[in-house]
């Protein structure tokens, strides 16, 4: 029986994780759940999975959660970042599923690693903002980090049984998002509602906008560089609108190993939960006759500058990816509430990066301070843009 603590249990990944757990009750037990503000769904999850500890975004939500749970006064509850850290590190979990959205996932994920607990990672921002610190902690504790992100799961699967030094390049695939065929003029007027209609993957609002700007791919390039220890020039992005090939690894002998499958997050999730085993998922089989053609195109960095900005941040190194990420989170939130147009997202990020002098990463405190400063800087840039 593997004991799981889930950070971000009411999000898209969290719900899919619980769906896999539901199918294999003899293999997995949920010992901790941490969520944000969706207490109605969290209450249902608590009733069904009976965790030892549950955490919400802030203390007021605890009262609401207790009200929704008959006899709920006996269930231990926590709140905020400290609550999420407790769920990660103090519930006796064998595996922590890190699936919160944004840089807020960093501290609880690091808490699990420092406690020597294995991590199944969906929260890519953790590796984007503090990659070297997180990997150093994982190395020190000899803790595996198993990717859930479909592209990184594909690469992780394609490198099994191979030596890291034999990898020549990674090819990360991208669906292109909902606006891949739009012209620059059309992109100037797209709305948040249109962006939230993703063609292939069903995800939360933040990652769906990131997918529309190609920042999601940019963050994934940084995540891959950290996770697989390769420089930016050995990572390529291929736009592959069918989302069937989830990524590829090119070896020094010219062999390319890819992982294919239907676009369903329960596949990489089940792999991360059961690794190194595989679970009989009973999902529809990939039907390549029906798919017919697989196409690949180079990304267009003129229409989608966010991907180029991510490569720049990765090449600059140090705390620059943290600045990129913080500015992106602020710009995406502003776009979602209708405050800025779509092309302003990369503009805000580019200006925040230009205003920052890169420093090497030294500590969690430094990362958190840089994250705060970059958020303020992005807010200021947005208010100037609106003047």
* Shortest spacing between CB 228 and Mg ion, in angstroms: 15
Which among 314, 329, 320 is positioned nearest to 367, based on CA atoms? 320
Binding segment (CB under 5 A) for Mg ion, from list 90-98, 147-155, 260-268, 356-364? 147-155
* Beta sheet of 28-34, edge-to-edge order: 77-79, 53-56, 28-34, 2-7, 95-98, 118-121, 145-147
At 377 the three-state DSSP class reads helix
Location of structure tokens 């594909």: 154
> How far is residue 65 from each of residues 6, 8, 161, measured CA to CA in Å?
17, 16, 46
Q: Which is nearer to Mg ion, 91 or 153 (CB)?
A: 153
What is the smallest separation between the CB atom of 335 and Mg ion, expressed in angstroms?
20
- Indicate the residue among 65 and 248 with the shorter CB distance to Mg ion: 248
- Shortest gap between Cβ of 220 and Mg ion (angstroms)? 6
Q: Are 4 and 95 in contact (CB under 8 A)?
A: yes
Taking CB under 5 A as the rule, does residue 149 contact Mg ion?
Answer: yes
Cα(65)–Cα(72) distance, rounded to whole angstroms? 8
Q: How far is the CB of 150 from Mg ion (least distance, A)?
A: 5
Backbone angles phi, psi at 46, to 5 degrees: -65, -45
Binding piece for Mg ion, criterion CB under 5 A, among 27-35, 146-154, 319-327, 349-357: 146-154
The encoded tokens of residue 110 equal 């690091």
Distance from chain centroid for Cα 254 = 30
Q: How many residues bind Mg ion (CB under 5 A)?
A: 3
Considering the complex, state which of residue 209 and residue 344 has its C-beta at the smaller distance from Mg ion. Answer: 209
How far is it, in rounded angstroms, from Cα 215 to Cα 327?
A: 11
Which range in 14-22, 36-44, 143-151, 309-317 contacts Mg ion by CB under 5 A?
A: 143-151
Interacting span for Mg ion (CB under 5 A) from 15-23, 142-150, 301-309, 337-345: 142-150
Pick the stretch among 31-39, 125-133, 145-153, 298-306 that binds Mg ion (CB under 5 A).
145-153
CB of 153 to Mg ion, least distance (A): 9
Q: Shortest Cβ distance from residue 148 to Mg ion (Å)?
A: 9
Q: Which residue minimizes CB distance to Mg ion?
A: 149
Name the segment binding Mg ion (CB under 5 A); options: 19-27, 86-94, 149-157, 333-341. 149-157
Nearer to Mg ion, 198 or 303 (CB): 198
Nearer to Mg ion by C-beta: 150 or 328? 150
Which of the residues 150 through 169 are near Mg ion (CB under 5 A)? 150-151
- Enumerate the β-bridge partners of residue 174: 239
Place of tokens 């007027």: 189
Considering the rule CB under 5 A, would residue 223 count as an interface residue with Mg ion?
no
Query: Which lies closer to Mg ion via its Cβ, residue 62 or residue 270?
Result: 270
Q: What is the spatial order of strands in the sheet that 167-174 belongs to? A: 235-239, 167-174, 245-251, 256-260
Q: Are 154 and 259 in contact (CB under 8 A)?
A: yes
Instruction: Scan for tokens 């899919």, then name that residue.
Output: 16
Minimum CB separation of residue 264 from Mg ion in Å reads 13
β-pairing, 245-251 with 256-260? antiparallel
Q: HSE-up of 98 (CA within 13 Å, CB side)?
A: 32
Sole residue written with tokens 């997050």: 265
- Rule CB under 5 A: is residue 210 a binding residue for Mg ion? no
How many C-beta atoms surround the C-beta of residue 261 within 10 A? 19
Q: Considering the complex, state which of residue 10 and residue 150 has its C-beta at the smaller distance from Mg ion.
A: 150
User: How far is 280 from 336, CA to CA, in rounded Å?
Assistant: 38
Applying CB under 5 A, the span of 71-79, 148-156, 183-191, 295-303 interacting with Mg ion comes to 148-156
Nearest residue (CB) to Mg ion, 109 versus 150: 150
Which C-beta is closer to Mg ion: that of 91 or that of 109? Answer: 109
Q: How far is the CB of 309 from Mg ion (least distance, A)?
A: 18
Binding residues (CB under 5 A) for Mg ion: these are 149-151
């Amino acid at each position: 029986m593997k004991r799981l603590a889930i950070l971000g249990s009411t999000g898209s990944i969290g719900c899919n994780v619980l769906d896999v757990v539901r199918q294999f009750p003899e293999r997995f037990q949920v010992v901790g759940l941490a969520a944000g503000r969706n207490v109605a769904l969290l209450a249902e999850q608590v009733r069904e999975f009976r965790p030892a500890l549950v955490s919400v975004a802030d203390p007021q939500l605890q009262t609401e959660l207790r009200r929704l749970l008959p006899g709920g006064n006996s269930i231990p509850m926590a709140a905020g970042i400290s609550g999420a850290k407790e769920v990660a590190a103090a519930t006796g979990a064998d595996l922590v599923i890190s699936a919160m959205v944004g840089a807020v996932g960093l501290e609880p994920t690091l808490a699990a690693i420092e406690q020597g607990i294995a991590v199944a990672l969906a929260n890519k921002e953790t590796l984007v903002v503090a990659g070297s610190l997180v990997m150093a902690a994982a190395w020190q504790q000899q803790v595996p980090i198993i990717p859930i992100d479909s592209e990184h799961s594909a690469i992780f699967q394609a490198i099994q049984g191979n030596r890291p030094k034999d990898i020549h390049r990674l090819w990360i695939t991208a669906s292109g998002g909902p606006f891949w065929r739009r012209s620059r003029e059309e992109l100037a007027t797209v709305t948040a509602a249109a962006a939230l209609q993703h063609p292939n993957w069903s995800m939360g609002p933040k990652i769906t906008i990131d997918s529309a700007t190609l920042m999601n791919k940019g963050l994934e390039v940084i995540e891959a560089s950290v996770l697989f220890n390769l420089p930016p020039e050995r990572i390529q992005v291929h736009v592959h609108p069918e989302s069937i090939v989830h990524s590829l690894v090119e070896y020094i002998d010219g062999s390319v190993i890819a992982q294919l499958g239907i676009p369903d997050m329960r596949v990489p999730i089940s792999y991360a939960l059961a690794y190194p085993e595989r679970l009989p998922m009973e999902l529809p089989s990939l039907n390549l006759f029906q798919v017919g053609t697989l196409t690949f195109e180079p990304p267009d960095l003129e229409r989608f500058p966010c991907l180029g900005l991510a490569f720049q941040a990765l090449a600059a190194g140090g705390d620059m990816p943290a600045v990129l990420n913080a500015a992106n989170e602020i710009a995406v939130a502003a776009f979602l509430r209708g405050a800025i147009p779509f092309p302003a997202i990369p503009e805000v990020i580019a200006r925040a990066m230009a205003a920052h002098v890169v420093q090497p990463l030294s500590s969690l405190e430094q990362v958190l301070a840089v994250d705060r400063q970059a958020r303020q800087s992005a807010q200021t840039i947005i208010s100037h843009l609106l003047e």
